Amino acid sequence: MFTTSFASPQRRRTYWLLQLVGWLLYGVLGLVLVFIFAGSNRPALPFLSLVELYVALTLLGLSHGLRNYAKRHGWVSLSIGRLLPRLLLAHTIVAVLSQVIIGLLSRASLLLLHPASTGQSYNWSMFIGYAINVEFVMWLWSTLYFGQHYLERYRQAEIDKWKLAAAVREAEMQTLKAQINPHFLFNGLNNIRALIGEDPERARYMLSHLSELLRYAIQLNRTEQVPLGRELAVVRDYLQLESLQLEERLRYTLDVPADCLAVSVPPMLVQVLVENAVKHGLAPRPAGGTLHVQARCAPPELLLTVENTGQLSPDTAAPRPDGTGTGLRNVRERLRLLFGPQATLHLEQADADTVRATVRLPLTHDSAALGPDRFGLDAQLAAYGSAGARPH
């Protein structure tokens, strides 16, 4: 009696299956009632059974006609308020027309079965009663048919909404990632330019590190998260590259236990925080300073901290403790897109001469992606973890 949502051939088969089964059951129900209430009118049972067959076939044809008319005129796309008056008129027409068709077929059959009944008058009260019954049945049919279409539209609207949200999220993520690559390239090329004239060998060494950094920055466009170990590998390259320029002014330690290396983090997360610390905290100071990167796995979260010598100021990437600079805004937006409220980034003046960036992330692992000491960090971190001078 109604249709469902499938690809066209299967949809048509399902529609006709439900139509045939539904109206057949309606006819069988009518036949059962005839047998129950026939009483002394048993001889008329063959004729009454034939009438019920006419009823089922007529309503099958008329409901199918209504369905085609509704599809042709776009009724399935109408609002409830605009659809109901149309259905009221359509059901009334179907109810009256069905009684005319059933009446003519029944009259013809009666004449064939009982020729002596030609003089019987037509019972208009039965006509009206059966028409009201058909009106009710057609409302039930329309509720099932159009209700299914409205449910399908609602589900499709929800799917479209989520697809749109995902597309917007992907576009935002790609925009944020695109902001990182030029920033990386600009800083790296500036450092190389400063060394080419005075120390070509060191410039070539820096260029190899820049190449690794750019390779990582390009690869990050294909993934939303990477193992922390991989992120620290590029951080190590960046710090070694910066140490060629800042020399003894840059002192740093990486304190990350081995069990945290497989934890998944957004690419460039730690590197941007470290770059921000070096650029705005250490590089402007004649005496330089100390940078300390630390990670702790404390289920259900990963705690990352980047501390550097310096003070928050309008020239820093975060003139306010919550951060408003481009780099930190970028990090905060990516955390929001990936983790929602489960991830946070906070920048603060930890003491008179120390700035601390703290990131909290949901604890997820990607051990397969990392592999056993894939980036050679176990030994490096063991060496870097000791407090003190910059590694060579």
140 and 81 in a single domain? The answer is yes
pTM of the model: 0.50
Looking at residue 185, what is its pLDDT?
A: 66
Residue 168 lies in a domain: no
Mean predicted confidence (pLDDT) in 315-340: 65
Mean predicted confidence (pLDDT) in 103-128: 70
242 and 332 in a single domain? The answer is yes
228 and 84 in a single domain? The answer is no
Looking at residue 309, what is its pLDDT?
A: 93
Residue with tokens 């951060």: 323
Asked if 304 and 266 touch (Cβ cutoff 8 Å), the reply is no
Looking at residue 317, what is its pLDDT?
A: 43
377 and 317 in a single domain? The answer is yes
Asked if 174 and 334 touch (Cβ cutoff 8 Å), the reply is no
pLDDT in tens, 123-148: 777 788 888 988 999 999 998 888 88
CATH number at residue 286: 3.30.565.10
Looking at residue 88, what is its pLDDT?
A: 92
92: domain range?
Answer: 8-159
Single residue among 112, 130, 159 that ends a domain in this structure: 159
Looking at residue 324, what is its pLDDT?
A: 42
What's the angle, vertex CA 354, arms to CA 391 and CA 264, rounded to 5? Answer: 65
Looking at residue 363, what is its pLDDT?
A: 86
Residue 208 lies in a domain: yes
- At position 86, the amino acid (one-letter code) is R
Residue 122 DSSP class: P
Dihedral (Cα; 203, 206, 212, 213), 10-degree rounding = -110
Mean predicted confidence (pLDDT) in 279-292: 90
Comparison of pLDDT for 285 and 245, the residue scoring more? 285
Single residue among 104, 133, 159 that ends a domain in this structure: 159
Q: In the numeric block, which tokens belong to residue 174?
A: 């790609």
Mean predicted confidence (pLDDT) in 40-59: 77
Looking at residue 328, what is its pLDDT?
A: 80
Residue 153 lies in a domain: yes
- φ/ψ (deg, to 5) at 17: -60, -45
Residue 62 lies in a domain: yes
Whether 261 shows a pLDDT value over 70: the answer reads: yes
pLDDT in tens, 79-93: 888 899 999 999 999
Q: In the numeric block, which tokens belong to residue 294?
A: 């630390």
pLDDT in tens, 24-49: 888 888 878 877 766 555 566 777 78
Radius of gyration of the chain (CA): 39
The residues, ordered by sequence, that sit 6+ positions from 142 with a Cβ below 8 Å of its Cβ are 66, 87, 91
259 and 356 in a single domain? The answer is yes
The Cα–Cα gap between 303 and 301 comes to 6
Looking at residue 291, what is its pLDDT?
A: 95
151 and 297 in a single domain? The answer is no
Which residue stretches of the chain are H helix? 8-37, 45-72, 80-113, 124-196, 200-219, 228-246, 269-277, 326-339, 367-370, 377-384
Give the H or E element holding residue 292.
strand 289-298
Comparison of pLDDT for 288 and 34, the residue scoring more? 288
The Cα–Cα gap between 182 and 184 comes to 5
- φ/ψ (deg, to 5) at 388: 145, -140
Looking at residue 250, what is its pLDDT?
A: 92
Q: How crowded is the C-beta side of 317, counted as CA atoms within 13 Å?
A: 23
137 and 231 in a single domain? The answer is no
Whether 6 shows a pLDDT value over 50: the answer reads: no
Single residue among 139, 159, 179 that ends a domain in this structure: 159
The Cα–Cα gap between 292 and 282 comes to 12
Comparison of pLDDT for 246 and 92, the residue scoring more? 92
243 and 124 in a single domain? The answer is no
Whether 110 shows a pLDDT value over 80: the answer reads: no
Dihedral (Cα; 195, 199, 202, 203), 10-degree rounding = 40
The residues, ordered by sequence, that sit 6+ positions from 377 with a Cβ below 8 Å of its Cβ are 229, 232, 233, 236, 256, 261
Mean predicted confidence (pLDDT) in 374-392: 41
Domain count, the chain: 2
Looking at residue 34, what is its pLDDT?
A: 73
The Cα–Cα gap between 100 and 127 comes to 9
37 and 136 in a single domain? The answer is yes
Comparison of pLDDT for 382 and 216, the residue scoring more? 216
Looking at residue 372, what is its pLDDT?
A: 39
- Closest among 171, 154, 191, 153 to 74, alpha carbons compared: 153
Residue 207 lies in a domain: yes
142 and 252 in a single domain? The answer is no
Residue 132 lies in a domain: yes
Looking at residue 118, what is its pLDDT?
A: 52
The Cα–Cα gap between 96 and 84 comes to 18
Residue 180 lies in a domain: no
Residue 174 lies in a domain: no
Task: Tell me the average pLDDT of the chain.
Answer: 77
